[in-house]
Structures are given as C-alpha cells and as structure tokens.
Structure 1
C-alpha cells in the first residue's frame, strides 16, 4: 500500500451500524453483540464487516464502500 493511500476499515462499530441501518445506537449495540456471539468471539472483541454482513445478509462490498467513503 502506498504511504499516502488511506487505510481501509475492516471493523464495524455500533455507531456505524446505527448510521447504516437507521437503528438506534442501543439497538445497533445489541446487533453487534449478536454478530460477535454468532462468530464465537469473546465479549469486547472487534467485529469485521464480513462477520456483520454474514449475519445480516447485507452486501459486504456495499457496506465497506459506505464505511470507507470519504466524508464530504
């Protein structure tokens, strides 16, 4: 990766889930917790976009693009 290239995000957080889905922050936290449990991860571990999309059925490329899009 070129030094000036932006780092691409691979993790998703409740704030992202709330923004992408229109859910409240608390509902988004519950969904991220469910994804973590479904992936067999311990509490507090990071959740990848792939894991989130596997559980929700959303397209990983679309979610990744939305999260990595530069804020205008």
Structure 2
C-alpha cells in the first residue's frame, strides 16, 4: 500500500504554479482564511484543489514526483 501525502506546502505550490515560494505562503494563508482554519492547521490537497480549481490528480503528480 502506497501512502500519499495529504498536506500541501509552499514549495509544492511553487512547483505547480511556477511562482515564488513566498507567493505559496501567501496563498496558503488566503486558503486558511477561506476555510476558517487556525494558523497552525494544515491545508489538504483537496482543499487546495477546491480553492484553486486545479484537478487533484494534477496536484498529486507534482507532490509525489
């Protein structure tokens, strides 16, 4: 059984979007506000997909490679 990572990090967003890691941190902050999460809570790939409109399978390719 292969486990897949559930959380997304700024470096992942950098790889997906081609933007800077700082942009990734800002985007994660916006997503946390959108989903009413505390600063210490993580953003899942599903939540990132829902917010950005990027397909989960596409995101998973970037995260696992």
Question: Do both share a fold (TM > 0.5)?
Answer: yes
Q: What stretches of structure 1 move > 4 A for 4+ residues in a row? A: none
Structural RMSD (CA): 1.2
More strand by share: 1
Which structure ranks higher in relative contact order (CA pairs < 8 Å, sequence separation ≥ 6)?
Answer: 2
The size of the alignment, in residue pairs, is 65
Q: Provide the TM-score with structure 1 as the length reference.
A: 0.81
Larger gyration radius, structure 1 or structure 2: 1
d(CA) in 2 for partners of 1:7, 1:60: 15
Specify every segment of 5 or more residues in structure 1 that has no aligned partner in the other structure, as ranges. Answer: none
More helix by share: 2
Q: Provide the TM-score with structure 2 as the length reference.
A: 0.88
